[in-house]
Amino acid sequence: MSKPYNVAVLVGSLRKDSINRKLALALAELAPPELKLEIVEIGDLPLYNEDTDGDNAPAAYGPFRSKLKAADAVLFVTPEYNRSIPGAMKNAIDVGSRPYGQSGFSGKPGAVLSASPGAIGGFGANHHLRQCLVFLDVHVLQQPEAYLGGAGSFFDTDGALSDGIRPFLQKFIDAFAQWVARHAG
Ligand SMILES: Cc1cc2nc3c(=O)[nH]c(=O)nc-3n(C[C@H](O)[C@H](O)[C@H](O)COP(=O)(O)O)c2cc1C
């Protein structure tokens, strides 16, 4: 690992007290110095409509697409909604993938972490997201898989990360750092 690699982090929950946002911030702190994680906000992106893209694209699309294009890698941290990808996350993927031929995702290394207070840990969302990433030519970290169940206990009332989940997050972000170094252009 040598140069600092910039990682665009997309968080699939828009809620202020989101567990997934807290996990994204925890991963940013645990990341080795070669990996710089920055959350790229997706909550103000209007729903994708091909009729209003190109010259008429909504103003919020420009900065989002620029940040995505400038990133060396992408990390998705997401809850599961109705056994699939939250709409906000899917919309961000659609916006970032267009206009045709100008995707901000192509060829980049990536990883997916899903978390839920439920037992299955967002497995459905995680793998639906992976299906999109095949088409987008994102090279996705395979191991360790990250379906984090029981996420309601990951942070105490002061927002401190529990010791129970910390070692896994460290392992995950270290593996991702190695993956990015190997696959970033
Ligand atoms: C519309 C909606 C659908 C949901 N569907 C699921 C689901 O399919 N599986 C699951 O484990 N949790 C589901 N949940 C519960 C979320 O996992 C829980 O609200 C979680 O805390 C959301 O992540 P966040 O804390 O990052 O916002 C759903 C929540 C909402 C609002």
Tokens of 181: 């170094």
Cα–Cα distance measured from residue 83 to residue 72, given in angstroms and rounded to the nearest whole number: 29
Q: Is the CB of 150 under 6 A from ligand 1?
A: no
Q: What is the pTM of this model?
A: 0.98
Residue 37 has pLDDT above 70, yes or no: yes
Residue pointed to by tokens 């439920």: 118
> Yes or no: is domain 5-183 CATH 1.10.3720.10?
no
Cα–Cα distance measured from residue 57 to residue 51, given in angstroms and rounded to the nearest whole number: 9
Residue 2 has pLDDT above 80, yes or no: no
Cα 155–Cα 93–Cα 33 angle in degrees, nearest 5: 50
At position 171, the amino acid (one-letter code) is K
Banded model confidence at residue 154, pLDDT cuts 50, 70, 90: very high
- Predicted confidence (pLDDT) per residue in 70-121, tens digit: 999 999 999 999 999 999 999 999 999 999 999 999 999 999 999 999 999 9
Q: Which of 25, 39, 83, 116 to mutate to test the pocket of ligand 1 (most atoms within 8 A of CB)?
A: 116
Residue 1 has pLDDT above 80, yes or no: no
Share of the chain above pLDDT 90, in %: 96
Of 17, 1, 12, the residue nearest 39 (C-alpha)? 12
Of 14, 131, 169, 162, the residue nearest 79 (C-alpha)? 14
Q: Is the CB of 56 under 6 A from ligand 1?
A: no
